[in-house]
Amino acid sequence: METVVDASTSEEANGSAVEKKPIVVFVLGGPGSGKGTQCAYIVEHFGFSHFSAGDLLRAEMNSGSENGLMIRSMINEGKIVPSEVTVNLLQQAMEESGNDKFLIDGFPRNEENRAAFEAVTGIEPAFVLFFDCPKEEMERRILNRNQGREDDNIETARKRFKVFLESSLPVVEYYESIGKLQKIDAARPIEEVFESVKTVFASINEKVKPHGRAEKKFTLLKLQLKWKMNLLRNGVCKGY
C-alpha cells in the first residue's frame, strides 16, 4: 500500500518533506502516569493539538451514540475498545482541528491499535513519549485525582494496569526497538517531569517547529486527500 511515508520519500529528495507532513507524537504510559497533565503543558509551549483517546471515547460514550454502551462496558472493565472506533474518533478530531501537529495521548494501547492507525491514516509518529512510573505511584494518583471517572477505582485501576502490562508495553517496546522512544521518569513532581519533556521537544525542535499558515493549510489538504485515498483502497476499516 502506498502511504504518506512513500510520498514523503520523494519529497525528502527535494528537501521539503519534514515541513509538509503532519507531525504526530504518541504519548504513552500506564494509567495515572501523568500523560494528560503533561500534554496540557506541551500544548501551551509547542502548539500541538492534543487528543486523548480516552477522553474522545468518554465523549462518544456520553453522546448517546450506538457505540456508547459498548464503550462504557469496555472502559469499566479496563479493556481496549476496538481500534475501528478509536481510530475513527482520532481521525475525525485531527481533521477538524485545522492543525498539523498532533499529540495523541493514551493511544496506541495495543498492536492492533498501532497497525490500524497506520493503515487508515498512513501516518507514523515522529517519536513516542513514554512516561515511566511505578505502579504504586500510579495507583496513588488515580485514587487521589477526583475527576469523577467511573474507572478511577482500585478494582478497575488494577485491571487497567494489567492490560497496560500485557498489551500496551509491547507497543512501547516496539517503538524502543525502532529508536523512536523517548522515555521520561514520570515519578517526579509535575514541573520536574515537564523539564525533561521540554528537553526532548527542544532537541527535536527542527521537526516540531511551528508551521506557517499556508504550509498548515496545504498539509491539511494533503492529509484529507490521503485519508480519502486510503479509505477507497481499504474500505472503512477493513484490512488490519
Is 125 near ligand UDP (CB under 6 A)?
Answer: no
Q: Which residue is nearest to ligand UDP (CB)?
A: 54
Q: How far apart are CA 139 and CA 56, in angstroms?
A: 23
Per partner kind, with CB cut-offs from 5 to 8 A, the member of Mg ion, ligand UDP, none near residue 168 is none
Whether 62 has a binding-site annotation, put simply, is: no
CB 33 within 8 A of CB 186: yes
CB 166 within 8 A of CB 80: no
- Residues in 140-199 that interact with ligand UDP by CB under 6 A: 151, 160
- Residues in 21-80 that interact with Mg ion by CB under 5 A: 36
Per partner kind, with CB cut-offs from 5 to 8 A, the member of ligand UDP, Mg ion, none near residue 81 is ligand UDP
Alpha carbon 65 to chain centroid, angstroms: 23
Alpha carbon 84 to chain centroid, angstroms: 15
Q: How far apart are CA 122 and CA 72, in angstroms?
A: 29
Is 48 near ligand UDP (CB under 6 A)?
Answer: no
Q: How many residues bind Mg ion (CB under 5 A)?
A: 1
Whether 81 has a binding-site annotation, put simply, is: yes
Which of 89, 99, 144, 145 is CA-nearest to residue 120? 89
Which part of the chain contacts ligand UDP (CB under 6 A), choosing from 1-9, 10-18, 80-88, 193-201? 80-88
CA angle 144-147-152, nearest 5°?
A: 65
Output the nine-digit C-alpha cell for 95. 481533521
Q: How far apart are CA 227 and CA 233, in angstroms?
A: 10
Which residue in 53, 61, 103, 172 binds ligand UDP (CB under 6 A)?
A: 53
Is 22 near ligand UDP (CB under 6 A)?
Answer: no
Q: Which residues lie near ligand UDP (CB under 6 A)?
A: 31-32, 35-36, 52-54, 57, 74-75, 78-81, 86, 106-107, 109, 113, 151, 160
